[in-house]
Amino acid sequence: MTTTTDPLDFTNLSGYRAKLEVLATRYGQGARSYFDIALPLHLIPTHLPIPDPEQPFEGNRRVDLNHAQKFAAYWRNNPKWTAPPLLLDTNAELGQAFEVKARAFGVEIGVLALPHNAVNVLDILDGQHRILGWTIAARDIARELKEQREQLRASRSVGDDVGVSVRTGKIAELEALEQRLQTEYVTLQVVEGITVAEHKQAFADITNNAKGITKSKTVEFDSVSVINRVTRELAETHELLAGRIDFERDRTQRNNTALLSARNLSDIVKHVALGISGRMNVRREAAYKDQLVTQLVQAYLDTLVQAFPRLSDVAADETSPVDLRRDSLLASPTILRVLAGVFYELAIDVDDDMPSLDRAGTQRAEDFFTRLAPHMDAPVTKTNPLFASGVFEEGAMAPSSRSQDLRRLVTWLTGWAQAGTELPTQNGTKR
Protein backbone atom coordinates (compact mmCIF):
# COMPACT_ATOMS: atom_id res chain seq x y z
CA MET A 1 0.00 0.00 0.00
CA THR A 2 1.31 3.43 -0.90
CA THR A 3 1.01 6.22 1.66
CA THR A 4 0.28 9.64 0.25
CA THR A 5 0.50 13.02 1.90
CA ASP A 6 -2.44 15.35 1.57
CA PRO A 7 -1.02 18.42 -0.22
CA LEU A 8 -3.71 20.53 1.41
CA ASP A 9 -2.90 19.45 4.99
CA PHE A 10 -1.72 22.69 6.64
CA THR A 11 -2.45 21.62 10.22
CA ASN A 12 1.22 21.65 11.21
CA LEU A 13 1.81 25.30 10.36
CA SER A 14 3.11 26.77 13.64
CA GLY A 15 1.80 30.26 12.99
CA TYR A 16 -1.80 29.11 13.38
CA ARG A 17 -1.34 27.22 16.63
CA ALA A 18 -2.51 28.57 19.95
CA LYS A 19 0.52 27.21 21.80
CA LEU A 20 4.29 26.87 21.70
CA GLU A 21 5.50 23.34 22.41
CA VAL A 22 8.88 23.04 24.09
CA LEU A 23 10.91 20.31 25.77
CA ALA A 24 10.73 20.69 29.54
CA THR A 25 11.77 19.02 32.77
CA ARG A 26 9.43 19.06 35.78
CA TYR A 27 10.54 18.55 39.36
CA GLY A 28 9.53 19.54 42.86
CA GLN A 29 11.12 22.25 44.97
CA GLY A 30 9.53 22.72 48.35
CA ALA A 31 5.79 22.40 47.88
CA ARG A 32 5.85 23.72 44.31
CA SER A 33 6.45 22.34 40.84
CA TYR A 34 9.15 23.83 38.62
CA PHE A 35 9.58 23.53 34.87
CA ASP A 36 13.02 23.94 33.28
CA ILE A 37 13.02 24.96 29.62
CA ALA A 38 15.94 25.61 27.26
CA LEU A 39 14.58 28.67 25.48
CA PRO A 40 16.19 29.98 22.26
CA LEU A 41 17.05 33.65 22.67
CA HIS A 42 15.03 34.81 19.68
CA LEU A 43 11.81 33.80 21.46
CA ILE A 44 12.41 36.07 24.44
CA PRO A 45 10.91 39.26 22.90
CA THR A 46 7.75 37.44 21.80
CA HIS A 47 7.10 34.95 24.60
CA LEU A 48 8.30 36.60 27.80
CA PRO A 49 7.08 39.78 29.53
CA ILE A 50 9.42 42.64 28.62
CA PRO A 51 10.22 45.07 31.45
CA ASP A 52 9.49 48.76 30.88
CA PRO A 53 11.97 51.13 32.60
CA GLU A 54 9.14 53.67 32.94
CA GLN A 55 6.55 51.30 34.39
CA PRO A 56 7.71 48.55 36.80
CA PHE A 57 5.80 45.29 36.95
CA GLU A 58 3.62 44.71 40.00
CA GLY A 59 5.64 42.87 42.62
CA ASN A 60 8.98 43.80 41.05
CA ARG A 61 11.43 46.68 41.11
CA ARG A 62 11.99 49.24 38.37
CA VAL A 63 14.39 48.03 35.71
CA ASP A 64 17.56 50.03 34.98
CA LEU A 65 17.73 50.71 31.23
CA ASN A 66 21.46 51.42 31.30
CA HIS A 67 22.15 48.10 33.02
CA ALA A 68 20.05 46.25 30.45
CA GLN A 69 21.87 48.00 27.59
CA LYS A 70 25.20 46.98 29.10
CA PHE A 71 24.04 43.37 29.21
CA ALA A 72 22.98 43.60 25.56
CA ALA A 73 26.47 44.85 24.66
CA TYR A 74 28.04 42.13 26.81
CA TRP A 75 26.13 39.42 24.95
CA ARG A 76 26.90 40.87 21.51
CA ASN A 77 30.62 41.12 22.23
CA ASN A 78 31.08 37.80 24.05
CA PRO A 79 30.30 34.55 22.21
CA LYS A 80 31.32 32.75 25.42
CA TRP A 81 28.82 34.68 27.54
CA THR A 82 27.55 33.33 30.82
CA ALA A 83 24.20 34.04 32.47
CA PRO A 84 22.14 32.28 35.15
CA PRO A 85 18.63 30.95 34.48
CA LEU A 86 15.68 33.29 34.12
CA LEU A 87 13.18 32.67 36.93
CA LEU A 88 9.50 33.29 36.22
CA ASP A 89 6.21 32.22 37.75
CA THR A 90 2.58 31.96 36.76
CA ASN A 91 -0.76 31.47 38.43
CA ALA A 92 -1.68 29.07 35.61
CA GLU A 93 -1.55 25.30 36.16
CA LEU A 94 1.05 24.39 33.55
CA GLY A 95 0.91 20.74 34.54
CA GLN A 96 -2.33 20.40 32.59
CA ALA A 97 -0.39 21.26 29.41
CA PHE A 98 2.58 18.97 30.16
CA GLU A 99 2.84 15.62 28.38
CA VAL A 100 5.22 13.35 30.29
CA LYS A 101 7.56 11.24 28.12
CA ALA A 102 9.87 9.77 30.78
CA ARG A 103 10.32 9.65 34.56
CA ALA A 104 13.33 9.04 36.79
CA PHE A 105 13.81 9.66 40.53
CA GLY A 106 11.07 12.25 40.79
CA VAL A 107 12.09 14.13 37.65
CA GLU A 108 9.76 14.12 34.64
CA ILE A 109 10.78 14.89 31.07
CA GLY A 110 8.23 15.79 28.45
CA VAL A 111 6.61 18.39 26.21
CA LEU A 112 5.14 21.56 27.69
CA ALA A 113 2.64 23.58 25.69
CA LEU A 114 3.07 27.27 26.49
CA PRO A 115 0.21 29.50 25.35
CA HIS A 116 1.07 31.96 22.59
CA ASN A 117 0.04 34.73 24.96
CA ALA A 118 2.63 33.54 27.49
CA VAL A 119 3.87 37.12 27.65
CA ASN A 120 0.65 37.91 29.55
CA VAL A 121 0.65 34.72 31.61
CA LEU A 122 4.20 34.68 32.99
CA ASP A 123 5.68 37.04 35.60
CA ILE A 124 9.38 37.69 36.17
CA LEU A 125 10.88 36.77 39.53
CA ASP A 126 14.54 37.14 38.58
CA GLY A 127 16.19 38.17 35.31
CA GLN A 128 14.53 41.45 34.31
CA HIS A 129 17.71 43.07 33.02
CA ARG A 130 18.77 40.01 31.03
CA ILE A 131 15.33 39.73 29.42
CA LEU A 132 15.30 43.42 28.50
CA GLY A 133 18.95 43.20 27.42
CA TRP A 134 18.32 40.38 24.95
CA THR A 135 15.23 42.18 23.69
CA ILE A 136 17.29 45.32 23.09
CA ALA A 137 19.97 43.27 21.33
CA ALA A 138 17.41 41.56 19.05
CA ARG A 139 15.73 44.84 18.14
CA ASP A 140 19.03 46.64 17.55
CA ILE A 141 20.35 43.84 15.33
CA ALA A 142 17.16 43.87 13.24
CA ARG A 143 17.25 47.67 12.93
CA GLU A 144 20.95 47.74 12.02
CA LEU A 145 20.46 44.99 9.44
CA LYS A 146 17.69 46.98 7.80
CA GLU A 147 19.87 50.10 7.71
CA GLN A 148 22.90 48.28 6.30
CA ARG A 149 20.83 46.59 3.58
CA GLU A 150 19.44 49.97 2.53
CA GLN A 151 22.95 51.42 2.43
CA LEU A 152 24.17 48.40 0.45
CA ARG A 153 21.50 49.02 -2.18
CA ALA A 154 22.50 52.69 -2.32
CA SER A 155 26.18 51.79 -2.76
CA ARG A 156 25.37 49.35 -5.54
CA SER A 157 23.18 51.89 -7.32
CA VAL A 158 26.06 54.38 -7.62
CA GLY A 159 28.78 51.80 -8.27
CA ASP A 160 30.55 52.39 -4.95
CA ASP A 161 32.65 49.22 -4.69
CA VAL A 162 34.24 50.24 -1.39
CA GLY A 163 30.85 50.96 0.11
CA VAL A 164 29.53 47.63 -1.16
CA SER A 165 32.45 45.81 0.46
CA VAL A 166 32.03 47.62 3.78
CA ARG A 167 28.25 47.12 3.92
CA THR A 168 28.54 43.47 2.90
CA GLY A 169 30.96 42.86 5.75
CA LYS A 170 28.73 44.59 8.30
CA ILE A 171 25.70 42.65 7.09
CA ALA A 172 27.62 39.39 7.51
CA GLU A 173 28.51 40.36 11.09
CA LEU A 174 24.91 41.24 11.91
CA GLU A 175 23.55 38.08 10.30
CA ALA A 176 25.99 36.09 12.45
CA LEU A 177 24.54 37.80 15.52
CA GLU A 178 21.03 37.03 14.28
CA GLN A 179 22.05 33.40 13.89
CA ARG A 180 23.33 33.37 17.46
CA LEU A 181 19.91 34.53 18.66
CA GLN A 182 18.41 31.47 16.99
CA THR A 183 20.98 28.89 18.09
CA GLU A 184 21.88 30.02 21.62
CA TYR A 185 19.70 29.20 24.61
CA VAL A 186 19.04 30.36 28.14
CA THR A 187 17.50 28.21 30.85
CA LEU A 188 14.00 29.31 31.77
CA GLN A 189 12.70 28.17 35.15
CA VAL A 190 8.95 28.55 35.64
CA VAL A 191 7.12 28.03 38.94
CA GLU A 192 3.45 27.16 38.50
CA GLY A 193 0.43 28.03 40.60
CA ILE A 194 1.77 31.25 42.16
CA THR A 195 -0.62 33.98 43.31
CA VAL A 196 0.26 37.69 43.13
CA ALA A 197 0.84 37.76 46.90
CA GLU A 198 3.07 34.67 46.69
CA HIS A 199 4.97 36.26 43.80
CA LYS A 200 5.75 39.33 45.90
CA GLN A 201 6.87 37.17 48.82
CA ALA A 202 9.04 35.02 46.56
CA PHE A 203 10.71 38.14 45.16
CA ALA A 204 11.40 39.35 48.70
CA ASP A 205 12.76 35.92 49.68
CA ILE A 206 15.18 35.93 46.74
CA THR A 207 16.39 39.43 47.62
CA ASN A 208 16.73 38.72 51.35
CA ASN A 209 18.57 35.43 50.92
CA ALA A 210 20.98 36.60 48.22
CA LYS A 211 24.47 37.61 49.27
CA GLY A 212 25.75 40.20 46.86
CA ILE A 213 29.28 40.01 45.54
CA THR A 214 31.57 42.91 46.40
CA LYS A 215 33.04 45.10 43.69
CA SER A 216 36.48 43.94 44.80
CA LYS A 217 35.56 40.31 44.21
CA THR A 218 34.21 41.23 40.78
CA VAL A 219 37.56 42.83 39.98
CA GLU A 220 39.29 39.60 40.98
CA PHE A 221 37.10 37.35 38.83
CA ASP A 222 36.16 39.48 35.80
CA SER A 223 38.46 39.28 32.78
CA VAL A 224 36.26 41.16 30.30
CA SER A 225 37.13 44.64 31.61
CA VAL A 226 40.58 46.00 30.75
CA ILE A 227 40.41 48.05 33.97
CA ASN A 228 39.97 44.88 36.03
CA ARG A 229 42.70 42.98 34.20
CA VAL A 230 45.19 45.80 34.72
CA THR A 231 44.14 46.13 38.36
CA ARG A 232 44.97 42.47 39.00
CA GLU A 233 48.28 42.75 37.16
CA LEU A 234 49.46 45.78 39.14
CA ALA A 235 48.20 44.31 42.42
CA GLU A 236 50.67 41.48 41.92
CA THR A 237 53.63 43.30 40.38
CA HIS A 238 54.01 46.87 41.64
CA GLU A 239 56.19 47.38 44.71
CA LEU A 240 53.65 49.64 46.41
CA LEU A 241 50.75 47.23 45.91
CA ALA A 242 52.04 43.65 45.95
CA GLY A 243 50.53 41.89 48.95
CA ARG A 244 48.66 45.04 49.99
CA ILE A 245 45.38 44.77 48.03
CA ASP A 246 42.17 43.40 49.57
CA PHE A 247 40.13 41.41 47.03
CA GLU A 248 37.35 40.56 49.49
CA ARG A 249 36.16 43.89 50.91
CA ASP A 250 35.40 47.16 49.14
CA ARG A 251 36.68 49.33 52.00
CA THR A 252 39.92 49.13 53.95
CA GLN A 253 39.07 49.89 57.56
CA ARG A 254 41.51 51.17 60.16
CA ASN A 255 43.14 47.83 61.08
CA ASN A 256 43.11 46.30 57.60
CA THR A 257 46.67 45.37 56.65
CA ALA A 258 45.91 46.12 52.98
CA LEU A 259 46.66 49.58 51.61
CA LEU A 260 43.70 49.54 49.22
CA SER A 261 40.79 47.37 48.22
CA ALA A 262 40.66 46.03 44.68
CA ARG A 263 37.71 48.33 44.10
CA ASN A 264 39.80 51.33 45.20
CA LEU A 265 42.63 50.31 42.91
CA SER A 266 40.32 49.79 39.93
CA ASP A 267 39.00 53.34 40.45
CA ILE A 268 42.58 54.64 40.44
CA VAL A 269 43.37 52.72 37.24
CA LYS A 270 40.28 54.22 35.60
CA HIS A 271 41.15 57.78 36.67
CA VAL A 272 44.71 57.52 35.35
CA ALA A 273 43.48 56.22 31.98
CA LEU A 274 40.31 58.31 31.63
CA GLY A 275 40.48 61.22 34.08
CA ILE A 276 38.48 61.82 37.23
CA SER A 277 35.17 61.93 35.32
CA GLY A 278 35.99 59.65 32.39
CA ARG A 279 33.95 56.57 31.61
CA MET A 280 34.85 53.34 29.91
CA ASN A 281 32.69 52.41 26.92
CA VAL A 282 32.59 49.58 24.41
CA ARG A 283 34.82 51.34 21.88
CA ARG A 284 37.45 52.23 24.46
CA GLU A 285 37.27 48.73 25.94
CA ALA A 286 38.22 47.36 22.54
CA ALA A 287 40.88 49.99 21.80
CA TYR A 288 42.69 50.26 25.14
CA LYS A 289 45.25 47.47 25.38
CA ASP A 290 46.35 46.07 28.72
CA GLN A 291 49.97 47.02 28.11
CA LEU A 292 49.07 50.66 27.43
CA VAL A 293 46.90 51.10 30.52
CA THR A 294 49.42 49.23 32.68
CA GLN A 295 52.19 51.57 31.48
CA LEU A 296 50.17 54.66 32.38
CA VAL A 297 49.22 53.47 35.86
CA GLN A 298 52.72 52.10 36.50
CA ALA A 299 54.08 55.60 35.83
CA TYR A 300 51.57 57.11 38.25
CA LEU A 301 52.42 54.63 41.01
CA ASP A 302 56.15 55.13 40.45
CA THR A 303 55.60 58.88 40.76
CA LEU A 304 53.80 58.40 44.07
CA VAL A 305 56.64 56.35 45.50
CA GLN A 306 59.23 58.88 44.30
CA ALA A 307 57.38 61.98 45.53
CA PHE A 308 55.90 60.84 48.85
CA PRO A 309 58.39 59.47 51.41
CA ARG A 310 55.59 57.86 53.41
CA LEU A 311 54.50 55.78 50.42
CA SER A 312 58.12 54.93 49.70
CA ASP A 313 58.31 53.60 53.26
CA VAL A 314 55.21 51.49 52.68
CA ALA A 315 56.71 50.04 49.50
CA ALA A 316 59.88 49.20 51.45
CA ASP A 317 57.89 47.63 54.32
CA GLU A 318 59.20 50.29 56.69
CA THR A 319 55.67 51.60 57.35
CA SER A 320 52.50 49.52 57.41
CA PRO A 321 49.18 50.64 55.91
CA VAL A 322 47.74 50.49 59.44
CA ASP A 323 50.36 52.98 60.68
CA LEU A 324 49.85 55.17 57.61
CA ARG A 325 46.14 55.49 58.39
CA ARG A 326 46.86 57.00 61.78
CA ASP A 327 48.38 60.24 60.54
CA SER A 328 48.48 60.55 56.73
CA LEU A 329 46.03 61.52 54.01
CA LEU A 330 47.94 59.16 51.73
CA ALA A 331 46.14 56.26 53.38
CA SER A 332 42.89 57.63 51.96
CA PRO A 333 41.76 55.92 48.73
CA THR A 334 39.94 59.15 47.89
CA ILE A 335 43.18 61.16 47.98
CA LEU A 336 44.93 58.59 45.78
CA ARG A 337 42.02 58.79 43.33
CA VAL A 338 42.28 62.59 43.30
CA LEU A 339 46.03 62.42 42.70
CA ALA A 340 45.35 59.99 39.85
CA GLY A 341 43.03 62.60 38.34
CA VAL A 342 45.71 65.27 38.72
CA PHE A 343 48.28 62.96 37.13
CA TYR A 344 45.94 62.47 34.17
CA GLU A 345 45.65 66.24 33.68
CA LEU A 346 49.41 66.81 33.92
CA ALA A 347 50.99 63.72 32.40
CA ILE A 348 48.56 62.11 29.97
CA ASP A 349 48.18 63.23 26.37
CA VAL A 350 45.02 62.21 24.52
CA ASP A 351 44.99 61.96 20.73
CA ASP A 352 41.87 60.68 18.98
CA ASP A 353 40.59 59.41 22.35
CA MET A 354 43.77 57.37 22.87
CA PRO A 355 45.86 58.21 25.97
CA SER A 356 49.65 58.22 26.02
CA LEU A 357 52.29 59.15 28.56
CA ASP A 358 53.92 62.60 28.37
CA ARG A 359 57.36 62.25 29.95
CA ALA A 360 57.71 65.97 30.63
CA GLY A 361 54.24 65.97 32.15
CA THR A 362 55.19 63.01 34.33
CA GLN A 363 58.08 65.02 35.71
CA ARG A 364 55.77 67.99 36.34
CA ALA A 365 53.45 65.69 38.26
CA GLU A 366 56.32 64.31 40.33
CA ASP A 367 57.59 67.82 41.10
CA PHE A 368 54.12 68.92 42.21
CA PHE A 369 53.54 65.81 44.31
CA THR A 370 56.91 66.43 45.97
CA ARG A 371 55.78 69.96 46.91
CA LEU A 372 52.49 68.50 48.11
CA ALA A 373 54.09 65.85 50.33
CA PRO A 374 54.59 68.05 53.43
CA HIS A 375 50.86 68.82 53.46
CA MET A 376 49.68 65.19 53.67
CA ASP A 377 49.42 65.12 57.46
CA ALA A 378 46.11 64.01 58.95
CA PRO A 379 43.78 64.94 60.47
CA VAL A 380 43.43 68.10 58.39
CA THR A 381 43.58 71.41 60.24
CA LYS A 382 42.64 74.90 59.10
CA THR A 383 46.33 75.74 58.70
CA ASN A 384 46.80 72.99 56.11
CA PRO A 385 46.71 74.61 52.64
CA LEU A 386 44.48 71.78 51.41
CA PHE A 387 41.74 73.06 53.70
CA ALA A 388 41.34 76.05 51.37
CA SER A 389 40.04 73.74 48.65
CA GLY A 390 36.69 73.59 50.44
CA VAL A 391 36.34 69.80 50.30
CA PHE A 392 37.84 69.00 53.71
CA GLU A 393 36.13 69.21 57.07
CA GLU A 394 38.34 70.31 59.93
CA GLY A 395 39.74 67.19 61.59
CA ALA A 396 39.01 64.99 58.55
CA MET A 397 41.22 62.07 57.56
CA ALA A 398 40.12 62.33 53.92
CA PRO A 399 38.35 64.75 51.58
CA SER A 400 34.71 64.44 50.62
CA SER A 401 34.22 61.57 48.18
CA ARG A 402 31.23 63.08 46.37
CA SER A 403 31.78 63.15 42.62
CA GLN A 404 31.51 66.92 42.38
CA ASP A 405 34.03 67.33 45.21
CA LEU A 406 36.47 64.94 43.55
CA ARG A 407 36.29 67.01 40.37
CA ARG A 408 36.63 70.22 42.35
CA LEU A 409 39.75 69.06 44.18
CA VAL A 410 41.36 67.74 40.99
CA THR A 411 40.75 71.06 39.25
CA TRP A 412 42.02 73.02 42.27
CA LEU A 413 45.23 71.02 42.59
CA THR A 414 45.87 70.93 38.85
CA GLY A 415 45.58 74.71 38.71
CA TRP A 416 48.26 75.14 41.36
CA ALA A 417 50.47 72.55 39.70
CA GLN A 418 50.29 74.34 36.37
CA ALA A 419 50.84 77.73 38.02
CA GLY A 420 54.01 76.43 39.64
CA THR A 421 53.35 78.26 42.92
CA GLU A 422 52.97 77.01 46.46
CA LEU A 423 49.55 76.07 47.77
CA PRO A 424 47.63 78.87 49.52
CA THR A 425 46.58 78.67 53.13
CA GLN A 426 43.07 79.51 54.33
CA ASN A 427 43.96 83.19 54.85
CA GLY A 428 45.50 83.54 51.40
CA THR A 429 49.19 83.45 52.34
CA LYS A 430 51.53 80.88 50.83
CA ARG A 431 53.48 78.08 52.38
Closest CA to 333 of 394, 258, 274: 258
Q: pLDDT grade, residue 423 (50/70/90)?
A: low
Q: pLDDT grade, residue 428 (50/70/90)?
A: very low
159 and 23, same domain (yes or no): yes
Predicted confidence (pLDDT) at residue 152 exceeds the cutoff of 70: yes
The pLDDT assigned to 431 comes to 42
Looking at residue 202, its amino acid is A
Predicted confidence (pLDDT) at residue 427 exceeds the cutoff of 60: no
196 and 48, same domain (yes or no): yes
DSSP for 360-378, please give it: HHHHHHHHHHHHHGGG-BS
Predicted confidence (pLDDT) at residue 138 exceeds the cutoff of 70: yes
- pLDDT averaged over every residue in the chain: 91
271 and 343, same domain (yes or no): yes
Q: pLDDT grade, residue 206 (50/70/90)?
A: confident
Residue where a domain terminates, one of 179, 209, 239: 209
Residue where a domain terminates, one of 188, 209, 230: 209
Could you give the percent of the chain with pLDDT greater than 90?
Answer: 76
DSSP for 139-207, please give it: HHHHHHHHHHHHHHHHHHHTT-HHHHHHHHHHHHHHHHHHHHHHH-EEEEEEE-S--HHHHHHHHHHHH
* Pairing status of strand 32-40 against strand 185-191: antiparallel
pTM here is: 0.70
Q: How many of the other CB atoms lie within 10 Å of CB of 372?
A: 21
pLDDT digits (tens, 9 = 90+) for 288-302: 999 999 999 999 999
Pick the more confident residue, 202 or 55: 55
42 and 98, same domain (yes or no): yes
Predicted confidence (pLDDT) at residue 240 exceeds the cutoff of 60: yes
Domain extent at residue 303: 215-419
Q: pLDDT grade, residue 398 (50/70/90)?
A: very high
41 and 119, same domain (yes or no): yes
In a domain, 249, yes or no: yes
Q: Considering its fold, how many domains does the chain have in total? A: 2
The pLDDT assigned to 394 comes to 93
Q: pLDDT grade, residue 191 (50/70/90)?
A: very high
324 and 415, same domain (yes or no): yes
164 and 146, same domain (yes or no): yes
Q: pLDDT grade, residue 5 (50/70/90)?
A: low
In a domain, 4, yes or no: no
Q: How many Å apart are CA 343 and CA 340, to the nearest integer?
A: 5
Q: How many Å apart are CA 216 and CA 250, to the nearest integer?
A: 6
> How far are the Cα atoms of 64, 105, 207 from residue 202, in angstroms, in the given order?
21, 26, 9
Q: How many Å apart are CA 228 and CA 216, to the nearest integer?
A: 9
Predicted confidence (pLDDT) at residue 13 exceeds the cutoff of 60: yes
In a domain, 53, yes or no: yes
Element (H, E) at 309: helix 309-315
pLDDT digits (tens, 9 = 90+) for 317-329: 999 999 999 999 9
Q: pLDDT grade, residue 11 (50/70/90)?
A: low
38 and 154, same domain (yes or no): yes
Pick the more confident residue, 116 or 37: 37
Q: pLDDT grade, residue 221 (50/70/90)?
A: confident
Average pLDDT, stretch 343-371?
96
In a domain, 8, yes or no: no
Specify whether the CB–CB gap between 413 and 407 falls below 8 A.
Answer: no
In a domain, 334, yes or no: yes
The pLDDT assigned to 426 comes to 46
Predicted confidence (pLDDT) at residue 195 exceeds the cutoff of 90: no
The pLDDT assigned to 117 comes to 80
In a domain, 43, yes or no: yes
Predicted confidence (pLDDT) at residue 159 exceeds the cutoff of 60: yes
Predicted confidence (pLDDT) at residue 79 exceeds the cutoff of 50: yes
Average pLDDT, stretch 80-103?
92
Predicted confidence (pLDDT) at residue 188 exceeds the cutoff of 60: yes
In a domain, 9, yes or no: no
The pLDDT assigned to 254 comes to 84
117 and 231, same domain (yes or no): no
273 and 383, same domain (yes or no): yes
Predicted confidence (pLDDT) at residue 251 exceeds the cutoff of 70: yes
Weakest-pLDDT range from 149-158, 277-286, 305-314, 417-426: 417-426
134 and 243, same domain (yes or no): no
Weakest-pLDDT range from 53-67, 272-286, 377-391, 393-407: 53-67
In a domain, 262, yes or no: yes
92 and 221, same domain (yes or no): no
Residue where a domain terminates, one of 185, 209, 233: 209
